[in-house]
Amino acid sequence: MYIEQLYTNCLSEAAYYIESNGEAAIVDPLRDIDEYLSLAEKRNAKIKYIFETHFHADFVSGHIDLAKATGAPIIYGPQTQTSFPVYIAKDNEEFNLGDVTIKVLHTPGHTLESTCYLVKDENKKYYAVFTGDTLFVGDVGRPDLSQKEEYLTTEELAGIMYDSLQQKIIPLADDVIIYPAHGAGSSCGKNIGEQTFSTIGEQKHTNYALQTESKEEFINAVTEGLSKPPQYFPVNAKINKEGYESLDSILVRALKPLTVQQTKKLLNDDDIILLDTRTTIEFAEGFIPGSLFIGLEGRFAEWAGTLLPFNKTLLLICDEGKEKESVVRLARVGFSRFAGYLEGGFNAWKNAGEPIDMIINVEPDELAMDLPFDDKILVVDVRRETEFADGHVKDAVNIPLATLTDPASMANLEEDQNIYLNCRSGYRSIIAASILKKQGIHNLYNVLGGWEKIKEQKKIQQEKEKSVLN
């Protein structure tokens, strides 16, 4: 038996390739399926099954395109309803894959159709369980993301999840390996651990949700402190349930090169959003006025899904050669409306003599020097509330990036203020600057290196002062 975890860092998502005796299965594939097809071809195996643990909310699955490419059935657990053909497995049903067996464990709670897949190896020993969003390393799946038409409260789903874990997962042997669908950074859990796999025994001893002594205590533990899920989650869950246009069709439309003049003409259309996917440094040094920035270097798809509307058409500004990557990563979270991309990227626009805008970067020590003498300075920290609570610039205002497109978030900003933006490292603050610029706020400064560099320079200054005193 051969198992490979195929991890995508920017989405904190894990798909899996399982193979035995020339037959392979894919668990929770991403929308771009070439990696699975290439791996099977490389290993001279045929993809026999496509297993889905549930209707994913944080990305569009590749189940439909992969089924068309391979002829393999899409398998979901009990209580699944879709708008396209799938095989709905029964609880405890088994599937033969070469010399191994994959057993269905229906584990509702995160969603009603949530299902884990337990692998029995060639020696008939339970070896690993693919837990989807039911059980993570150090956490469990959120019980507040299920589709609204299921008419269950978050607390009711949490109670169902407790029963699933107690009856199906915790009784497994301690040495059974856990392969979850997500790692740290995913919004599908509350505080997922850094490791991307574990064992049943380790989780029994370290996972807070498995330490609870009663159902009531479990419900309180997993529902307390849940942040608002990203706005694109219901969109993606619906796409995964109802079906979608093939990625190949989207790529044909999206990878249409546009001249500077064609781009200028499209910018007069209110339906168009100009999205720049270059690096933070490149964008700050110059960009097309009105552009929104979300760079490929960070959690690109997640922020795109959180901040961009799905009912608008995207026109891309990319580093040359990065156009396809930009489209694929956007399609992973459900974007399908594209006008094309600016051929030659930002340089083509600049070389044509068209107007440009820029963002002024400042070092943390410059901010520190200006703060005591400029009463018009407003430091806006765009990190999450929990990050802000752990430490921030004195008198800073916290407006999390995810809320920045909400007009209510802008109520405390005034035109005559000098706004200094910071996040943890400088990625989110440049996104925020592009949003504010598009809204007509131009007295902006980006704090280079963000809070991490602010802390570093503060520590250096304290050590210098200590040295002088000594």
**Which tens digit of pLDDT belongs to each residue from 245-299?**
999 999 999 999 999 999 999 998 999 999 999 999 999 999 999 999 999 999 9
Under 8 Å between Cβ of 294 and 333 = no
DSSP 26-39: EES-BS--HHHHHH
**In this structure, are 295 and 202 located in the same domain?**
no
- Structural domain count of the chain: 3
pLDDT value for 146: 73
**In this structure, are 163 and 69 located in the same domain?**
yes
Does residue 229 have a pLDDT over 80?
A: yes
Q: If 0-12 CB within 10 Å is exposed, 13-18 middle and 19+ buried, where does residue 470 land?
A: exposed
What are the φ and ψ backbone dihedral angles of 18, each rounded to 5 degrees? -115, 135
pLDDT band at 150 (very low <50, low <70, confident <90, very high): low
**In this structure, are 421 and 379 located in the same domain?**
yes
**In this structure, are 289 and 162 located in the same domain?**
no
Beta strands per DSSP E along 38-84: 46-51, 74-76
Say which CATH number the domain at 455 has: 3.40.250.10
**In this structure, are 380 and 318 located in the same domain?**
no
pLDDT value for 424: 95
Say which CATH number the domain at 184 has: 3.60.15.10
DSSP 393-459: -TT-EE--GGGTTSGGGGTT--TT-EEEEE-SSSHHHHHHHHHHHHTT---EEEETTHHHHHHHHHH
Closest to 34 (Cα-Cα) out of 62, 9, 10: 62
Q: Give Cα 253 distance to the centre of its chain.
A: 24
Determine, yes or no, domain membership for 415.
Answer: yes
**In this structure, are 374 and 450 located in the same domain?**
yes
Under 8 Å between Cβ of 323 and 341 = yes
Determine, yes or no, domain membership for 252.
Answer: yes
DSSP 323-334: HHHHHHHHHTTT
Give the chain's mean pLDDT: 94
**In this structure, are 364 and 455 located in the same domain?**
yes
Both tokens of residue 13? 């998502």
**Long-range contacts of 258-263, Cβ-Cβ distance < 8 Å, separation of 24 or more:** 258/315, 258/339, 258/340, 258/341, 258/342, 258/343, 259/343, 260/342, 260/344, 260/348, 260/349, 260/352, 260/354, 263/315, 263/342, 263/349
Determine, yes or no, domain membership for 326.
Answer: yes
Provide the residue range defining the domain that includes 47. 2-234
Q: Which residues pair with 275 in a beta bridge?
A: 292, 316
**In this structure, are 280 and 369 located in the same domain?**
no
Determine, yes or no, domain membership for 240.
Answer: no
pLDDT value for 383: 96
**In this structure, are 40 and 184 located in the same domain?**
yes
Distance CA 286, CA 347 (A): 9
**In this structure, are 70 and 48 located in the same domain?**
yes
pLDDT value for 467: 61
Determine, yes or no, domain membership for 83.
Answer: yes
**In this structure, are 230 and 257 located in the same domain?**
no
Distance CA 215, CA 166 (A): 10
Determine, yes or no, domain membership for 470.
Answer: no
Does residue 79 have a pLDDT over 60?
A: yes
Determine, yes or no, domain membership for 176.
Answer: yes
Greatest pairwise CA separation for the chain in angstroms: 76
Under 8 Å between Cβ of 125 and 115 = no
Under 8 Å between Cβ of 401 and 371 = no
Domain boundary residue among 173, 199, 234? 234
Domain boundary residue among 325, 351, 377? 351
Determine, yes or no, domain membership for 468.
Answer: no
**In this structure, are 67 and 86 located in the same domain?**
yes
What are the φ and ψ backbone dihedral angles of 369, each rounded to 5 degrees? -75, -35
Domain boundary residue among 351, 381, 404? 351
